[in-house]
Amino acid sequence: MPKAPDIAPQAEAFDVSLIKYDYFHGLLPREDVAVLLTRHGDFLLRLSEADTMGAKMEMVLSVMHDPKSRCRSNEPAARMNYIMHIIIQSAKKRYYIVCYRTFNSVPNLVLFYLKHVLIFRSQIVQLANGIGLAPWEFRAENLQLEQLIRKFSCGEVVKGKVIRKDMAPVEVAVKTVAGRSQEAREKILELMAQCRMLNDLYHPCVVQFFGVCLIAQPSCFVFEFVPQGPLDEWLRANKGLKRDELLLMIVSAGWGLEYLHQNSILHTDLAAKNCLYDGQFVKLSGFGKARKASTYTMKAARKMSNRWMAPESVLAFRFTQKSDVYGYGVLIYEIFAVKEPYEGLSNIDARTLILENDTPDFPGVALKTLTEFVREKMWALDPDKRSDMRQIMIWMQGYTGMGLQIVGGETCVTATVHQKVDNLLSKDVELQSLPNFKEPGLKTSTKLKKKKN
């Protein structure tokens, strides 16, 4: 069994005694500070790496400074303008903000300024309330890394457990990022952006975010463990699946995408390789290029494969909900064909065919009515002629007889798949219009753990 990495405290170029203090948040990015600091005098300590590679980590005291209560918004973006980020200097094992007052430890520095005001940039700054770790911030002792799943350029994906007092251990997948290379730093920022986006989402067809551990090395990003792994690998290893299994994959991926769009999130990178499979539902994953927006135009070219993209995205790197709809159609093709779109062609040739609206041919196993619906309502060259995900899922649910019922509770949700008529999925049913979906009889159900706040 491949060995999982050990988790150890960040131990370079800062006062390691900070680790035991609740107000220390490790490598928490500046963008996440405003989520935690909400009132005048709230503060936390974090680490920040200087822009110059090879420079030591800087200790930063982040303080909410709003003595006149001018910030009236509850939005973190608005609070960012009221947060001061004060670098704590160090020399000869002494720590200071102003050079004439030094301390033998950072906790002693913090204790002093809890009792005395700090004059910083002509402002009277008051520390009042040290903010502890959020529910989504883990300490190293909360994570148990067990089995290496796969490696990537600056880290690994590891199966592990979240361990907390008074809670049963929870199986998780942990993405670890090690080192201080530019690539590692960019990966941490990318993963933190994903976590920021996923933190308020919970749906059985979207991979669940549990939290981060930024106090330890390597940095850890904790997600739901999905046993069957990437959808593309599962499909290749399990060819000859029953039609109802394939259709449930398709419909569950659609439920996930509809949910993202309801929350104003664009995935922008739908593909089987960016989905996970739990044996029943497809769960959308791979949020590295996702954006919380209605329209997103990529300003700088990023590594993306044309073959999954809508024509307008290929042409101008413009992404909308309608380009996601096009990508959902490509995902449906992948599930039936068990191969990438335009397989065997170069990206340049695939790009040419996409711009000409020369879409892939579905294999014989695909249902005729469904494939015609994909071509007409998802792969239309004009984005305005594509249906939105709400319309698509009304049609899908009526066509397959499947519906999703989510019942919230204190500790779990129940996702129930319904089917109207036995063996309906073995037939190619023609539907003349979008049906009014009614609650059918119970088919099967699955229970998923709900993250505790």
Tens digit of each residue's pLDDT (9 = 90 or more) over 249-291: 999 999 999 999 999 999 999 999 999 999 999 999 999 899 9
Q: 319: how many CB neighbours lie within 10 A of its CB?
A: 26
Q: Which helix (H) or strand (E) holds 270?
A: none
Collapsed DSSP state (helix, strand, coil) of residue 240: coil
Q: What is the CATH number of domain 23-130?
A: 3.30.505.10
Specify whether domain 140-224 bears CATH 3.30.200.20: yes
Residue 182 has pLDDT above 80, yes or no: yes
Residue whose C-alpha is closest to residue 98's, from 109, 82, 108, 114: 109
Helix (H, G, I), strand (E, B) or coil at 372: helix
How many beta carbons lie within 10 A of that of residue 441, not counting itself? 10
Q: How confident is the model at residue 179 (pLDDT cuts 50, 70, 90)?
A: confident
Residues 6+ apart with CB under 8 A from 445: 414, 415, 416, 417
Distance from C-alpha of 220 to C-alpha of 87, rounded to nearest angstrom: 25
Report the alpha-carbon distance of residue 361 to residue 341 in Å, rounded: 9
Instruction: Specify the 3-state DSSP secondary structure of 362.
Output: coil
Q: How far is residue 436 CA from its own chain's centroid?
A: 33
Q: What Cα–Cα distance (Å) separates residue 100 from each residue in 92, 103, 107, 117, 122?
A: 14, 10, 18, 15, 16
At 391 the pLDDT is: 98
Q: For residue 11, what pLDDT band results from cuts at 50, 70 and 90?
A: very low
**Residue ranges of E strands in 308-441:** 318-320, 404-407, 412-418
Q: How far apart are CA 155 and CA 151, in angstroms?
A: 6
* CATH code linked to domain 231-449: 1.10.510.10
Find out whether 147 and 2 touch, Cβ atoms under 8 Å: yes
Domain ranges of the chain: 23-130, 140-224, 231-449
Using a cut of 0.95, tell me whether the model's pTM lies above it.
no
Give the mean pLDDT of 58-81: 91
